[in-house]
A and B are shown apart, each in its own frame.
Chain A
Amino acid sequence: KQEVTQIPAALSVPEGENLVLNCSFTDSAIYNLQWFRQDPGKGLTSLLLIQSSQREQTSGRLNASLDKSSGRSTLYIAASQPGDSATYLCAVSTGSYKLIFGSGTRLLVRP
């Protein structure tokens, strides 16, 4: 059974710092991996999608990598800002319209 783990559960950093969020999964047979952002009381917003054949994806200050063989993905946020404060969730797709989510990393960027 596919399981997705995100460490740390919470992270507090000063503004301007570069940071890395981690996601690990137990079964390397994935269709894709996705990173989402969730603001308090809101739904999820899609940030990055990495297909199983890809190694990384970039969008602005965000870069996500995927290493299927080790069952790991990282989300790198450059030059963090207070507006980046949110919960970040990773999810793997098994290819059958089912996303398996991690529990998320709650990020606080202090001004």
Chain B
Amino acid sequence: DAGITQSPRYKITETGRQVTLMCHQTWSHSYMFWYRQDLGHGLRLIYYSAAADITDKGEVPDGYVVSRSKTENFPLTLESATRSQTSVYFCASSSTGDYGYTFGSGTRLTVV
């Protein structure tokens, strides 16, 4: 089935390590997004991409790096993980950018 897949589903990492969260979509949507969800904050946008090789910062980009060499993939890298980056991370895609969002099932990341 077409969809949006995130991996891994769960990840525990140590402070200071680099970790990459993967996101893959099969619709060829132009727009892709990374959000983090924390208790009391709802979802906050980390980075988004309007097309391959085009990315831009969201509300909370510090400590994160993204790339988009192919339309279908949008990995999120934490260069040096901190405890404050413990969160649930959601990837989403959209053909329009402003609506018609499809979300992945999330990656629960714990930094110890």
Contact = CB atoms under 8 A, between A and B. Distances in A.
Interface in A22-56: 31-32, 34, 41-46, 49
Given A42-B105, A43-B106, A44-B90, A101 B44 contact: yes
A21 B4 CA distance: 29
Contacts of A104: 42
Contacts of B40: 103
Nearest to B106: A43
Interface residues of B, number: 26
A93 B99 contact: yes
A32 B97 CA distance: 12
Main secondary structure of the interface of A (DSSP, over half): strand
A43 B104 contact: yes
A97 B43 contact: no
Interface of A: 4, 31-32, 34, 41-46, 49, 89, 91, 93, 95, 97-99, 101-104
